[in-house]
Amino acid sequence: MPAAALTFNCRLDTLLFGEILKRTASDVDLSSVFRERTGMEISEYIDHNIAVLVSFLGREPKELMENAATNFLNLKTFFPTVSQESSEKFWNMELGTLTRYREELLSLA
């Protein structure tokens, strides 16, 4: 994981979703629903996304175009091994198939 992502500790779930929840009358606890469905916290999920984005945004566009290997991430080693369970949950959500997504959406109906 890039060093910037390791030290990034901003709780975006509170910043982003907290304001929405304050303005929207609802009995839904977004954090709880997300945790129940995915097994991870919203903040954890956002932190993982930011780490992946930083790995690409920290490179020059020319490098990404000229060196195809920079476009690929090693799913086993990208995040520290201490967060392996969290990483697996993240990649499982991000690398789903259309079939899986369709089945999940149909199960909600």
pTM flag (> 0.85): no
The pLDDT, as a whole number, for residue 17 is 61
Tens digit of each residue's pLDDT (9 = 90 or more) over 8-65: 444 555 566 666 667 767 777 778 888 998 899 888 888 888 888 888 888 888 888 8
Phi/psi for 8 (5° steps) reads -75, 115
Q: Provide mean pLDDT across the span 78-104.
A: 85
Place of tokens 């910037």: 4
Domain boundaries, the chain: 3-108
Per-residue pLDDT at 3 exceeds 50: no
**How far is residue 79's CA from residue 103's CA, in Å, rounded to a whole number?**
29
Instruction: Please give the pLDDT value at position 28.
Output: 76
